[in-house]
Amino acid sequence: MLSYHSRKLKIAIVWVAIALAGGATGGWAWQARERDLLERISRRAARMAVAFDGADLHRLSGTRADHDSPAYARLVRRLRQFHVADPNVRAVSLVRYSTAASGGGERVSTLAASRHDGDATTSGAKDLTKRDASVLRETFETGQPGAAQPFSDAQGQWIRGFAPIEPTTSGRDVKSARELLVLEMDARRWQRELLLAGFQGAFFVWTLLGLPLGVWLALRRQHEQRDVIRNLSEAMEQSHSAIMILDLESRIEFANRGLCQQIGFSRREMIGRRWKEFQFAGAADGHVSDLIATVKAGQTWEGEWFNKRKDGTTYPVRGVVTPVRLPGGSISCFVAVFDDVTDTKRREEELREARDLAMAGDRAKGQFLATMSHEVRTPLNGIVGFTSLLLDTPLTPEQREYVQTIRMSTEALIQLTGDILDFSRIESGKLKLDPMACDPRECVEDAFDLLAARAADKHIEILHRVADDVPAAIVIDGGRLRQVLVNLVGNAIKFTERGEVEVSLAVASEPELEHANPTADPAALALNDHAVSVNADVRPAVPDETCCTLVFRVRDTGIGIPPEHHAKLFRPFTQVDESTTRRYGGTGLGLAICRNLVELMGGEIRVESQTGRGSTFAFTVRAPVAAAQAPVRKLAGLRLGLAVGPGALRRELGQLLRSWDARVIEADAPEQLINQEWELALVEVDEVIARALAVQDPLPELPPEKSIGLVPVSLSNELRTALRKHFGLLVNRPVRHAMLFDVLSGAQPQAAVMAPRTLFGFRVLVVEDNAVNRRLISRVLEKLGCVATLVEDGRKALEELRQRAERYDLVLLDLHMPELDGLATLREIRAGNTGARAQTMWIIALTADAREQQRTRGMAEGLNDYLTKPLSVTDLETALRRFRQEWSTRTR
């Protein structure tokens, strides 16, 4: 490319040099011709001058008086003879040039002229140009003839020659005066002659040098073109693609070797025949005529068609047909280039089959996972449910331990199936969020509910602190947020032997966000990018100002994580070391799932931890703030005794109660409250204290109607009953803040009591397809003093309600059922298809997986409550309590 340009530049320089040389030669020829012409005129003037006698002229004075003299008449005659002899002569005249002796002034006077113009003699001294005057002076001084440059006037272009008249020997001083002949000739051809001379000079050089260069260049280009054509023909010939040239009638003019090999005909057999004869005239016929029409219209055609081989077989080709245009624009021929695509087609077909297979596999995998989710978890839930019932019966310590182990192992299996399902959804980018308005506080407390028993078993306190400015509701997938919290709090409990686990929740300040440096782990990132990109559309598009970023911190006082392991924690299937797996179990999927969920919710997750000193997992979520009124909670100076041992629980409750404007009297033990002024007392009771209190009488200073016991959720029914003499109410730890407020403000004292199980006496319609679950639910309901009617699918439930709705107070509805599933059944009921009573009946949903998105959807469709399997007595009891509360307000 570069050499091509430098060659062009060199050639241009040579052309410019030749042009300049021609121009210079032309200029030189012009000047030479001009000199020659001037010399010719001056020589002619000199020849004329010889014909005059100086003596004759001396006698003339240059006035009118001379006209009478015979000499004058002779002179004029002679001048006229010269004049008429040549038509190019305009005038011949004789002048006297003199210089005054004093003052140096010069004077030119006409003595005689070949023409008279009125009184004045023409072309005499009177109209000399400046250049004439200077040549005249020179002739006077040197005595040599001369000529001046041409001049123009109204009649045309003229030139003057000057020649001295030889003086006589009369002794006159030729230095002061001299007679001269002035010849004035037509100079019209003068310019043309000069131009001609200049052009001839230039042309000569241009021809001499330019012609060989031009010829050399033309020859070279021809040579190069020949090379290109030879290479192209060679390439066309060697090409594996078939190439042919067709005339305007679609007759083959040229066919390359590739085409001959492809089609099996020799070149001779093809040339001159129509292209159509070699095409498969089947279904593609219309297609081919469209091809010909397109190229004849001057456009390129690209596509596929079928060719016919010599042996009669057909094969698919893919190619381009292009019209070739002459310089004038008309089409001269067509070039077709195409390839046999039999193999490509076969590969495409194979790929399509492979893709279909893969998609079928993917569907099968999805189906398998869904089945696993349901079919595997259902029996597992049955095991957990029945082992829980078993634990409520009298057992030997050994039996109790075995049953507890069975329950724990089964719970771990349920967790594992859930994690695998989630992980596969994330991996395939199918995990979608389902944002709805929800209270972030409730998410934390819901997560605590699920883990409270586990924490209580290990005697670990779980606490939470929520900053006042946290919005009352945000639009987020509450289920997924809860899942992250359950994972982190679950890990915190798992890896902590003593102390506490605390969740704090605050609105993120900007610097906090900048600091959030998620552990950069390429594997986790890659997984995440995929999930995020696929699900980006799920995130609600909300202007920034209505969004808030919340920071959740899950702190524990457990075994901690060495810093060198922090980076890999969020990678799937990674655990700190093998001993962790052996000792604590787990798959290493939890944190990878958390990280993906958090990032889907527009946040980040990071860890701070030191071996032996506990860990803090902090994550942010970004969500639109929902328009919800934050409840105003004020206890207006209520004096509260807080008998809780020094530590995190006392801090949490003290802070909370003060934020409600209560006056708090803190004490390490209830005895310290004696003699103090308080209206209600909150007393921390653990299992050891409960056992001690069970055998003690209540102190008169601590009347039970003013005392509320804060008990571990796992406290047995026997102990709860025994505590009744000491406390009017028992509130489970971890304490739900809203519920505690209701208890203290007297709004819902009953709702908070977690005292011995209530016998509700409700009549419940249970809709559940799984027999084990049906039995489990009926047992649990029995324990709670309810009467259950069991049906195994949605249709039967509708039938039952249609006929006997008045027999039931509420419905427990499994969402996952064959045929008519839970949501469809719900829709039928709410649409009034089973009568007016059923239409407004309280319906509690049951599902195998808390993370399924049906919850929010179900609530929107008219569910009243929601329970997750495995169903525990406590969960159902709480749900029934919620129903009773609602029922009493409805019937009030």
Rounded to whole angstroms, what are the CA distances from 276 to 240, 272, 846?
Answer: 22, 12, 72
Task: Tell which residue, 479, 490, 488, has the closest CA to residue 412.
Answer: 490
What ranges make up the beta strands (E) of 467-561? 474-476, 500-507, 547-556
**In the bound complex, what is the minimum distance in angstroms from residue 410's beta carbon to ligand ADP?**
16
Q: Per-residue x/- mask for ligand ADP, residues 607 to 646, rule CB under 6 A?
A: --------x-------------------------------
- Residue range at the interface with ligand ADP (CB under 6 A); choices 137-145, 542-550, 558-566, 792-800: 558-566
Q: Establish if 93 lies at the interface with ligand ADP (CB under 6 A).
A: no
Out of 26, 150, 471, 586, name the contact with ligand ADP by CB under 6 A.
586
H helix runs in 305-376, sequence order: 342-371
User: What are the C-alpha distances in Å from 882 to residues 297, 628, 684, 714?
Assistant: 80, 22, 25, 20
Q: Which of 91, 591, 643, 708 binds ligand ADP (CB under 6 A)?
A: 591
Q: Which stretch binds ligand ADP (CB under 6 A): 433-441, 453-461, 573-581, 655-663?
A: 573-581
Name which of 582, 580, 502, 850 is nearest 591 in CA terms: 580
Return the range that interacts with ligand ADP (CB under 6 A); candidates 58-66, 556-564, 729-737, 790-798.
Answer: 556-564
Task: Note the maximum CA span of the chain.
Answer: 183
The Cα–Cα gap between 295 and 879 comes to: 78
Which of the stretches 15-23, 525-533, 579-587, 877-885 binds ligand ADP when contact is defined by CB under 6 A?
579-587
Stretch that binds ligand ADP, among 115-123, 378-386, 568-576, 724-732 (CB under 6 A): 568-576
List alpha helices for 784-853, DSSP H.
Answer: 794-804, 822-830, 836-839
Tell me the C-alpha distance between 94 and 162, whole Å. 10
User: Minimum distance between the CB of residue 495 and ligand ADP, rounded to whole angstroms?
Assistant: 3
Q: How far is the CB of 734 from ligand ADP (least distance, A)?
A: 17
Q: Which two tokens stand for residue 128?
A: 């000399």
The dihedral built from the CA positions of residue 729, 734, 736 and 741, taken in this order, carries a sign that is: positive
* Rounded-to-integer distance, Cα 614 and Cα 552, Å: 16
Residue 584 CB, shortest distance to ligand ADP, in Å, is: 7
Is residue 569 within the footprint of ligand ADP (CB under 6 A)? yes
599 near ligand ADP, rule: CB under 6 A: no
Which residues, 6 or more positions from 109, have their beta carbon under 8 angstroms from its beta carbon?
Answer: 62, 95, 96, 98, 124, 125
Q: How far apart are CA 66 and CA 798, in angstroms?
A: 156
Helix (H) or strand (E) holding 113: strand 106-113
Burial 366-379 (b: 16+ CB within 10 A, else e): eeebeeebbebbbe
Which residue in 132, 184, 445, 556 binds ligand ADP (CB under 6 A)?
556
User: Which stretch in 386-394, 457-465, 551-559, 650-658 sits in contact with ligand ADP by CB under 6 A?
Assistant: 551-559
Name the DSSP class of 868.
E
Contact between 518 and ligand ADP per CB under 6 A: no
Place of tokens 């004096």: 639
Residues 450-509 that bind ligand ADP (CB under 6 A): 487, 491-492, 495
Taking CB under 6 A as the criterion, the residue among 38, 559, 605, 844 binding ligand ADP is 559
Closer to ligand ADP by Cβ: residue 255 or 591? 591
Contact pick of 111, 321, 561, 841 for ligand ADP (by CB under 6 A):
561
> Do strands 120-121 and 116-117 pair parallel, antiparallel, or not at all (unpaired)?
antiparallel
Residue 573 CB, nearest distance to ligand ADP (Å)?
8
Tell me the closest approach of the beta carbon of residue 589 to ligand ADP, in angstroms.
6
What is the C-alpha separation between 455 and 448, in angstroms, rounded? 9
**With binding defined as CB under 6 A, does residue 587 bind ligand ADP?**
yes
Both tokens assigned to 604: 């980040």
Count of residues that interact with ligand ADP, criterion CB under 6 A: 20
Contact (Cβ atoms closer than 8 angstroms) between residue 622 and residue 602: yes
Least separation in angstroms between residue 714's CB and ligand ADP is 21
Shortest Cβ 644–ligand ADP spacing (Å): 25
Identify the residue among 76, 576, 766, 863 touching ligand ADP (CB under 6 A): 576
Residues 163 to 192: which contact ligand ADP by CB under 6 A? none
The verdict on 422 binding ligand ADP (CB under 6 A) reads: no
Q: Which amino acid is at 117?
A: D
Query: In the complex with ligand ADP, which residue's Cβ is closer, 95 or 589?
Result: 589
Answer yes or no whether residue 588 interacts with ligand ADP by CB under 6 A. yes
To ligand ADP, the closest distance from the beta carbon of 409 in angstroms equals: 15
Residues that bind ligand ADP in the complex, under the rule CB under 6 A: 487, 491-492, 495, 556, 558-561, 569, 575-576, 580, 586-591, 615
